[in-house]
Copies of this chain bind each other. A is one copy, B any other.
Amino acid sequence: MGSVLPSFQWLSLFFLIISVNVCAFKIPRLGTWQRSTKERDPEISSSLHLSDDDLKTFYYTQRLDHFNYRPDSYHTFQQRYMVNFKYWGGAKSSAPIFAFFGAEGPVDEDAKYIGFLRDNAPQFNALIVFIEHRYYGKSIPFGSSEEAMRNASTRGYFNSAQAIADYAAVLLHIKKTLSAQNSPIIVIGGSYGGMLASWFRLKYPHIALGALASSAPILYFNGIAPQAGYYYIVTKDFKETSESCYQTIRKSWSEIDRVAKKPNGLSILSKRFKTCDKLNKSFDLKDYLDSLYTDAAQYNYPSEHPVKIVCGAIDAAAKKTDILGQIFEGVVAYKQHRSCYDMNEYNHPTESFLGWRWQTCSEIIMPIGHEKNDSMFPPAPFNMKTFVQECRSLYGVLPQPHWVTTYYGGPDLKLILHRFASNIIFSNGLRDPYSSGGVLESISNTVVAVTTVNGCHCLDIQSRKANDPQWLVTQRNTEVKIIKGWIAEYKADLIALTKQIKAPAEPKS
């Protein structure tokens, strides 16, 4: 495993951004909620709990490296976490703690969209905690994002094992501070955060009683799930919504290429798609459309149904325009009327984008690709060798595609966890492309899959709404019931064990 890098390659932020944008591999974004929601539909956003005055912010002095004793490892950073005490029943009644694990973004943003904790805390008398992931938001080592991401030495501490060890330390700190030793902790996460939640229950069962892992593609590693799964489901979502829409999209790629090859072809495409900047290559347009469609499928909320919106517009335009016109109408329907469309919208070098890019290039390596007949998209098979080379040139260190399955497992999950582990819910919506890497069948009575045919990415942990479809209400109720079962069993065990300790031993006859 591993090899000695001949020399350390320093990369400027500029080079980083450039390289990311010309990246040949596209790992679709994860994320518990759709970051473009707000700009698309302010009305929907305003209906969400966008602020929570009861959430108090704290900082924990976190160790930089939990698995090393070099002097550098002892450096610390301030890790942000937020607590809502409003519903908590207190330590004396061993009232539970709901802890949301932040993922690849600022946790205060998550706190706005993730309603599962707040919606259910009252009936559990639960404390609500949101903990931010290291290297995101306000939880940045080395003083600033720029410093933290400056080179391979500062980025090296940015990985999942360190992140869940952080969560362990923060949760023990909270329990100690509140003298809540007997309060069971339920950890909750979505997407990458869902992976962290399930992995946390496996690695730290003494800290978390159970985990709700929403839309966690923990099998999208090291060849366990098929590479084409993601794009296969995106395609299926579109095809099932409208066969003609699917056909139009499928044909559009070669049409774009055909026009691009004309004299002034890129100018024609730029005009027809109202791009903010003139296209330099047709790839940028295709990449933008790829992101738009996968985004629509992944966050195909039942209240908005973006796939229907896109397909509705594409189909409606069939009689009045050509394929490119139809595709553009789909863009307009999804993004609304704008003076121009930014082809680079999905690749802006935000903190989340850059952080996640590093994580997917070092440790969280999900080989997502698709061949010619797998999907409605142009073929883009995943080539590990090229991927490794590209990441290496980007970041100066060698990606470790086998490490996730070495540390967390993955192959033979059913065989292994059938008689080991307990209290994990893997929830998935089967319309979510990432469900192709999820655990979709229950492994045991207590390691269970809860799926919905029509659900999308992380839908179950988002805030409850008045117009939620019945299947979503049922899914959430099922999850709540399971968690109640864990806590009831835990409390019974706790009482039994306390009695056992207090009772004098039976004299042996």
Binding site for B on A (CB under 8 A): 1-5, 8, 61-76, 152-153, 155-159, 161-162, 165, 168-169, 172, 202-207, 362-363, 396-398, 400, 403, 406-423, 446, 489-490, 493-494, 497
Contact = CB atoms under 8 A, between A and B. Distances in A.
Given A69-B152, A69-B158, A76 B2 contact: yes
Contacts of A162: 67-68
A71 B5 contact: yes
Given A66-B67, A69-B155, A70-B152, 4 more contacts: A1-B169, A68-B156, A68-B159, A165-B406
Contacts of A62: 1
A417 B497 CA distance: 13
Nearest to A498: B415
B74 A3 contact: yes
A64 B70 CA distance: 13
B415 A69 contact: no
A161 B205 CA distance: 17
Given A68-B67, A75-B4, A156-B69, A205 B416 contact: yes
B420 A422 contact: yes
Contacts of A75: 4
B3 A493 contact: no
A410 B418 CA distance: 24
Count of chain copies: 2
Contacts of A446: 419
A76 B4 contact: yes
Most chain B CB inside 10 Å of its own CB: which residue of A70, A403, A417: A70
Contacts of A4: 74-76
Contact of A153 (B5, B63, B71): B71
9 contacts: A1-B62, A1-B76, A2-B61, A2-B63, A69-B156, A71-B396, A172-B406, A206-B412, A206-B416
A123 to B, nearest CB: 23
Contact of A406 (B168, B400, B410, B418): B168
Contacts of A363: 69
Contacts of A68: 65, 67-68, 156-157, 159, 162
Contacts of A5: 71, 74
A341 B415 CA distance: 57
Given A2-B76, A61-B1, A409-B205, A397 B156 contact: no
Contacts of A71: 5, 8, 152-153, 156, 396-397
Nearest to A205: B420
Nearest to A155: B69
A53 B243 CA distance: 69
A313 to B, nearest CB: 36
Contacts of A409: 204-207
